[in-house]
A and B are shown apart, each in its own frame.
Chain A
Amino acid sequence: MGTIIFIGILFTSFIPMMLVMKQADNIYTRKVHEIQQSDEVQAAQELDVFAYPVEDEDMIKVYVENTGVVPATLKRIWINDVYHTVDEVVAALDTSTLGPYNVTTYDGASFNIILTTSHANSFSSVSGTLYYEASGWFVPELGVCVHVAVGLWGAGYFKIQVTNATWQSDWYESGFTWLGDIVETFNVTTPGNYQVWVERKGWFGSWEPLDGSPQITSISYPDGPPIVTVTFGG
């Protein structure tokens, strides 16, 4: 009789209690795993945000490029201290254009734009604060930034030029460079495609194109950054 009661207690009290506790542990472990994944997504979110004014209008558009490896759910666009609700998912390496958003312009007005995601990440506009004066919007200068990384066996003199179908810059000539970087920015006037030429002075004094030269790059401002970077290995 005692044995039966003992087994009864075991099966009706102790084992159910252990099962309930184990289930609670499972829920805890699963939820903690989920929140860890969410934290990793938060850390992996990378967005490039370009805010730009609509010409001759009191409006601002925001171009978003997801440069990360995880999708980002956009929640809000802050223009100074006012936010506009957004509910849009930008997949990894995808782009999206938000707006236009109406703003009140006046002489000396400035607009600071910040984008927030559902994971509470905030991304400021890389085009900086937008300014408005009586004459209209300030627009950034466009340019092509050329970066030449000169390695151990690539030492020498370098010259760089940026061209398009109707325009070409002056040649930029560097001093003797070895195990260093050459960074030069060429201002351009209009968005579009540009060719970047990099040449190195060879052993016999003649200029020879660097591997990969010319590279074609594109400035698509305002739907992209006003300055693009082109990199060569010397």
Chain B
Amino acid sequence: MKMPRIKKRGLSPVIATIILSAVVIAIGGAIWSYSQGASTVIANSYVNDTLELLNEVTERFAVEHVSNNTEGSILHVWVYNYGEVDIVIDVYANATHFNETTSTFNSTFSANYTTSITAGILVLIEIDFSSYNLFPSDEVAVKVHSRRQNNAYYKYYVR
């Protein structure tokens, strides 16, 4: 008895090539697209980090002058931003009173203040010492700390 003949036929080479090309283009396109997005993110992040580091390295400020009012209730601190970038600073002042009877330093008081300073500008900062009242010859240590971790110091003797 003669078996019926089954006809077996493969894909033509043209169809196979088209399918393979489509797969390569699809996967390649996805990788290409991903790499473009990733490289953009990496480049932006790198540039932002570099510029932030640059601002940290190039910011410059100094305590130019310190004084107090007659009553001793306010400490005036002039901070000069002589760099090229704006800064945000915290000003800390610590007063130490010299006890002439015992010849010792005691009775310290601290106060602080936060402000921002535009590049090239001198700013007057008034620190409230009303709950302590500065005495003549008190030693006041002033520390200016920027949010980019730079510091400036000044030592002032109350007049």
A and B interact: yes
Choose, from B3-11, B37-45, B91-99, B132-140, the stretch at the interface.
Answer: B37-45
Inter-chain contacts of B58 with A (CB < 8 A): 31-32, 34-35
**B28→A20 contact, CB < 8 A:** no
Question: Would you call B76 an interface residue if the criterion is a C-beta within 8 Å of the partner chain's C-beta atoms?
Answer: yes
Bound-complex Cα distance A59 to B65 (A):
22
Would you list which residues of chain A between 18 and 42 have a CB under 8 Å from chain B? 20-21, 24-25, 27-28, 31-32, 34-35, 38
Give me the interface of A with B, judged by CB distance under 8 Å.
1-2, 5, 8-9, 12-14, 16-17, 20-21, 24-25, 27-28, 31-32, 34-35, 38, 75-76, 78, 80-81, 83, 114, 116, 118-120, 122
Q: Is B123 an interface residue (CB 8 A)?
A: no
Question: Which residues does chain B contribute within 8 Å of A122, judged by CB atoms?
Answer: 64
Give bound CA distance, A60 to B90, whole Å: 36
- CB–CB B54/A81 < 8 A: no
Contact of A17 among B42, B76, B78 (CB under 8 A): B42
Q: Is the CB of A20 within 8 A of B54?
A: no
**A120-B80 Cα distance, complex, nearest whole Å:** 7
Of the four ranges (under 10, 10 to 19, 20 to 34, 35 or more), the interface on chain B belongs to 20 to 34
Q: How far is the CB of A42 from chain B (nearest CB, A)?
A: 9
The yes or no answer to B62 lying at the interface (CB within 8 A) is: yes
User: A17-B40, A17-B42, A122-B64 given as contacts; is B54 within 8 A of A32 (CB)?
Assistant: yes
Contact across chains for A81 and B67 when beta carbons are under 8 A apart: yes
Question: Which chain A residues lie closer than 8 Å to B36 at the CB level?
Answer: 9, 12-13
The yes or no answer to B57 lying at the interface (CB within 8 A) is yes
Contact (Cβ within 8 A) A9 B21: no
Q: Is the CB of B32 closer than 8 A to any CB of chain A?
A: yes
**What is the predominant secondary structure among interface residues of chain A facing chain B?**
helix
A14 touches B35 (CB 8 A): yes
A-B contact count (CB 8 A): 85
Asked if A76 and B122 sit within 8 Å, CB to CB, the answer is yes
Q: Are B40 and A5 in contact (CB under 8 A)?
A: no
Q: Is the CB of B32 within 8 A of A8?
A: yes
Residues of A within 8 A of B80 (CB): 116, 120
Does the CB pair B46–A9 fall under 8 Å? Answer: no
| Residues of the B chain whose Cβ atoms lie less than 8 Å from the Cβ of A32 | 54, 57-58
Is the C-beta of B53 less than 8 angstroms from some C-beta in chain A?
A: yes
With a cutoff of 8 Å between Cβ atoms, the chain A residues found around residue B32 in the complex are 5, 8-9, 12-13
B50 CB-CB contact with A under 8 Å: yes
User: Given A21-B46, A24-B47, are A9 and B35 neighbors across the interface (CB < 8 Å)?
Assistant: yes
A31 and B53 CA atoms in complex are apart in Å by 11
Known: A12-B32, A13-B39, A32-B57. 11 other contacts (CB 8 A): A5-B29, A9-B35, A13-B38, A14-B39, A24-B50, A28-B50, A32-B58, A75-B122, A83-B65, A120-B64, A122-B64
Q: Is the CB of A21 within 8 A of B47?
A: yes
User: Does the CB pair B76–A81 fall under 8 Å?
Assistant: yes
Does B111 sit at the interface, judged by CB under 8 A?
no
A14 CA to B43 CA, complexed, in Å: 10
Q: A13: which B residues are within 8 A, CB to CB?
A: 32, 35-36, 38-39
Of the residues A2, A12, A27, A80, contact of B24 by C-beta under 8 Å: A2
Q: Which residue of B lies closest to A34 (CB)?
A: B58
Across the interface, which residues of A come within 8 angstroms of B43, CB to CB?
16-17, 20-21
- Which residues of A are found within 8 Å of B62, using beta-carbon distances? 120
Are A1 and B51 in touch, CB under 8 angstroms?
no
B91 to chain A, nearest CB (A): 16
Q: Is the CB of B21 within 8 A of A1?
A: yes
CA of A9 to CA of B67, assembled, Å: 63
